[in-house]
Amino acid sequence: MMNTAPFNRTGRLSHWMDLATLVTAGAALLLAGTLLTIYQVVSLRSALVDDLRVQARIIGENSAAALVFNDPRAARETLSALEYSPSVQAAAIFSHDRSTLALYQAPDQMAPTMPDAALLRTGYQFSVAELLVAQPVKLAERQLGTVVLRISLEKLWWRVLGYIALTLAVAIGSLAISFVLVSRMRKVVRHTEAHLDYLAHSDSVTGLPNRHAFNARLAFALSKVDQFGGMVGLLFLDLDNFKAVNDTLGHQNGDRLLKLVAQRLVKILRTTDTICRIGGDEFAVILESASSSRESESVAAKLLAALNEPFVIDNIDLHVTASLGLSIYPIDTTDLQALTRNADTAMYQAKNRGKNAFERFHPDMEQRAKKRVQLENSMRRAMERNELRVFFQPQISIATRRIVAVEALLRWEHPELGLIQPVEFIPIAEESGLIVPLGKWVLEAACQQAARWAAEGMRELHMAVNLSVRQMREETMVDDILSILRDTGVSPGQLELEITETVLMENVDDNVRLLTRLKAAGVRIAVDDFGTGYSSMAYLKRFPIDQLKIDRAFITGLPGDAEDRAITTAIIAMAHSLGVMVVAEGVETAAQLAFLDENGCDRVQGYFLGAPLPGPHITALLRAQHENAAAKASIAEA
């Protein structure tokens, strides 16, 4: 799957560099060898000359008498000593009249002739094959004659040749050794480099290329399309609810699951396609084999289908789903950055559609995503600019027909867009994490309002506040809530926290622990949007719940719809059997209210009884109710 062409090229390059280094080192050695040889020749030669001059002088001095007396026999005897000097080939003693007094000659050697003026002046003369040394024989400053020695240079050349051979052998030997050592070292370095490269470009959990490698490969794939045509499909795949696996089974099992998922996904792809792990539970697939957008879409469908079968870890079946987004180069865009952004946008669209889904990028999505970003940015400023409001919706007790609680509901008074409803901004606030400070702000505002009402004598009124999943994950949440209660002086029993059934069931153990702590502090707990989250009785029993809020979806069909009737009555019966109060949400008609009343529902909330209103409006309602009650009480007393 990996393209190794650039690596081969660098391999060949380093080979050439090896060779170049070797040639340079060889040339340097050759130059050094030549200089040394020249030095050697010169010094051997001058040593030879010195040696022969000594010999010539000895002969000259020994033959002085023979020359004075013109005695060839004595002169020959002097020369006969040269037999023990194997380098001297021939020697002659000439008298001053240039006649030869004595001659010594090795077999086949030429006899020396009387030296010419030049030779007499320098005392020696070289040719390639031989050396002539001339030594005048004097007695009391009078020249009696001349001694001439002829020496073969064969031995000298052999020695020089031997020297050159030795130098060459040493040079070649050391070059060979260093070549072997250097290539061995290079091999080690290359190996280490390759390993480091692998580590830098691959993900240690799955063994897949990592984000770093992904960027490089995507750029490479796109440049190929630019050059040769074709298309590249980019798929972003994000596992749904992977965090839950990590939280419940531990990170080690989370890693094992990722590895299994990666292995299964790899099997679906062709060798020309590349799958990378680019984040915690995010994978990116570069589809180079697809020749049409339909083909890329079918790969996406196959990847999604591949996850259908559960994964088995420690004998537990894990059902994993994913959300996929696809963008195609150059159909959707001709820009690398935009391509990844598009795939990401499409993937988020799939997530928003309810997960376990695949979306092909569409320009509309970009518009929507842009709007989202804008909304997110202005939401950040909304708190500072005081654009947020808390509205309160009454909850009425069916038994007493009185307002017994209010639910705090967030509103955003946008200076240009007007009043924005929570459905539009709460999901964005959740995704961006802004819900954490936002939720805290709501809690503070709601408690401050509750404190004001308590100051007017309405201490029995419950204040319901919604909690988001992100808030629940905050470690400091319980402490934050308790300190807000302390600061505002609201009693914990007045506060009712609403948690949706889906959120409750996502992380049962942690939530049980969290709610138990809140419950211990005296805070009331309500399960919001109940009936949509498929929770079982067994689970519900584990939570310290005070109240269930039947989801609006089941109230809408009342009292006509048989199924809604059955569900509503079943929820009421079940809740009561657990000692939990029931609130019906979204009550819009008198008939709905009558049905709920007949079937024992405890409280009702809905437009029929009162829409969410700003604090002062509710204050007026509460005051009226309070005065009414006081009047009734005084009538009863009287």
Contact footprint for ligand C2E (CB under 6 A)? 393, 409-410, 421-423, 426, 435, 439, 442, 466-468, 498, 528-529, 552, 585-588, 605-607, 612
Q: Return the one option of ligand C2E, Mg ion, none that residue 409 interacts with (CB less than 5 to 8 A, by type).
A: ligand C2E
The Cα–Cα gap between 553 and 550 comes to 8
Cβ 426 to ligand C2E shortest distance, Å: 5
Based on CB atoms, which residue is closest to ligand C2E, 209 or 559? 559
Candidates 234, 56, 48; CA nearest to 153 is 48
- Find which of ligand C2E, Mg ion, none residue 60 binds, CB within 5 to 8 Å per kind: none
Q: What is the per-residue burial (b if ≥16 Cβ within 10 Å, else e) of 507-540?
A: beeebeebbebbbeeebbbbbbbbbebebeeebb
Q: Are 548 and 528 in contact (CB under 8 A)?
A: no
Closer Cβ to Mg ion, 41 or 553, answer by number:
553
For 126, the enclosing helix (H) or strand (E) is: strand 124-126
Decide whether 344 or 501 has the Cβ nearer to ligand C2E.
501
CB of 552 to ligand C2E, least distance (A): 6
Piece of the chain touching Mg ion by CB under 5 A; list 145-153, 224-232, 525-533, 604-612: 525-533
Q: Given the complex with ligand C2E, which of 552 and 623 has the nearer CB atom?
A: 552
Q: Which does 39 bind (CB under 5 to 8 A by kind): Mg ion, ligand C2E, none?
A: none
Which one of Mg ion, ligand C2E, none interacts with residue 304, CB within 5 to 8 A by kind?
none
Applying CB under 5 A, the span of 198-206, 381-389, 436-444, 580-588 interacting with Mg ion comes to 580-588
* DSSP code at position 475: T
- Asked if 203 contacts 296 with a C-beta cutoff of 8 angstroms, the reply is no
- Residue 525 interacts with which of ligand C2E, Mg ion, none, CB < 5 to 8 Å by class: none
Percentages (nearest 5) of helix, strand, coil residues in the chain: 55, 20, 25
- Give the angle 104-108-110 at the CA atoms, nearest 5°: 60
| Least spacing, CB of residue 372 vs ligand C2E, in Å | 17
Residue 91 or 550 with smaller CB distance to ligand C2E: 550
> CB of residue 466 vs Mg ion: minimum separation in angstroms?
4
Residue 304 or 396 having the CB closest to ligand C2E: 396
For residues 186 and 192, give the distance between their C-alpha atoms in angstroms, rounded to a whole number.
10
327 contact, one of Mg ion, ligand C2E, none, CB 5-8 Å limit per kind: none
Nearer to ligand C2E, 153 or 575 (CB): 575
Q: Which residues pair with 132 in a beta bridge?
A: 125, 150
Q: In 3D, which of 175, 226, 461 has the Cα closest to residue 329? A: 226
- The span from the CA of 112 to the CA of 100, in Å, is 10
The single residue listed with the structure tokens 């929507």 is: 368
Q: How far is the CB of 444 from ligand C2E (least distance, A)?
A: 11
CB of 549 to Mg ion, least distance (A): 5
Binding to Mg ion in span 443-482, by CB under 5 A: 466
CB of 367 to ligand C2E, least distance (A): 24
Residue number with CB closer to Mg ion (564 or 585):
585
Q: Which of 288, 332, 529, 602 binds Mg ion (CB under 5 A)?
A: 529
Task: Please give the backbone phi and psi of residue 396, each rounded to the nearest 5 degrees, phi first.
Answer: -105, 135
The answer to the question of residue 498 lying near Mg ion (CB under 5 A) is yes
- The nearer residue to Mg ion, 442 or 477, going by C-beta atoms, is 442
CA–CA distances in Å: residue 574 to residues 169, 300, 404, 543, 550: 100, 43, 23, 14, 12
- In whole angstroms, give the CA distance from residue 473 to residue 243: 12
590 binds, among ligand C2E, Mg ion, none (CB under 5 to 8 A by kind): none
**CA 290 centroid distance within chain:** 27
* Closer CB to Mg ion, 245 or 426, in the complex: 426
Largest CA distance in the chain: 183
**Segment contacting Mg ion (CB under 5 A): 415-423, 507-515, 524-532, 601-609?**
524-532
Any alpha helices (H) in 236-335, and if so which ranges?
A: 242-249, 251-268, 293-306
Q: By C-beta, is 442 or 515 nearer to ligand C2E? A: 442
The site partner of 218 among ligand C2E, Mg ion, none (C-beta below 5 to 8 Å per kind) is: none
Residue 410 contact, options Mg ion, ligand C2E, none, Cβ 5-8 Å cut-off depending on partner type: ligand C2E
What is the nearest approach in angstroms of ligand C2E to the Cβ of residue 575? 17
Task: Among 528, 546, 564, 602, indicate the residue that binds Mg ion (CB under 5 A).
Answer: 528
| CA distance to 206, 251, 261, per residue, from 256 (Å) | 9, 9, 9
Between CA 130 and CA 212 the distance in angstroms is 76
Nearest to 464 by CA among 495, 500, 499: 495
Considering only CA atoms, which of 98, 69, 117 is closest in space to residue 78? 69
Between 529 and 546, CB nearer to Mg ion: 529
CA distance 558 to 335: 54
CB-nearer residue toward Mg ion: 297 or 501: 501
User: C-beta of 500: minimal distance to ligand C2E in Å?
Assistant: 7
Q: Tell me which of ligand C2E, Mg ion, none is bound by residue 296, counting a contact when its beta carbon lies within the kind-specific cut-off of 5 to 8 angstroms.
A: none
H or E stretch covering 385 = none
- Residues in the interface with Mg ion (CB under 5 A) total 5
Closest Cα partner for 525 from 480, 471, 467?
467
CB of residue 518 to ligand C2E, shortest distance in Å: 15
Of 13-21, 175-183, 265-273, 521-529, the segment contacting Mg ion by CB under 5 A is: 521-529
Residue with Cβ nearer ligand C2E (102 or 497): 497
273 binds Mg ion (CB under 5 A): no
11-24 per-residue burial string, b: 16 or more CB within 10 A, e: under 16: eeeeeeeeeeebee
Q: Which stretch binds Mg ion (CB under 5 A): 10-18, 137-145, 357-365, 492-500?
A: 492-500
Q: What angle do CA 469, 470, 475 make, to 5 degrees?
A: 110
Q: Which does 198 bind (CB under 5 to 8 A by kind): Mg ion, ligand C2E, none?
A: none
Which residue ranges make up the site for Mg ion (CB under 5 A)? 466, 498, 528-529, 585
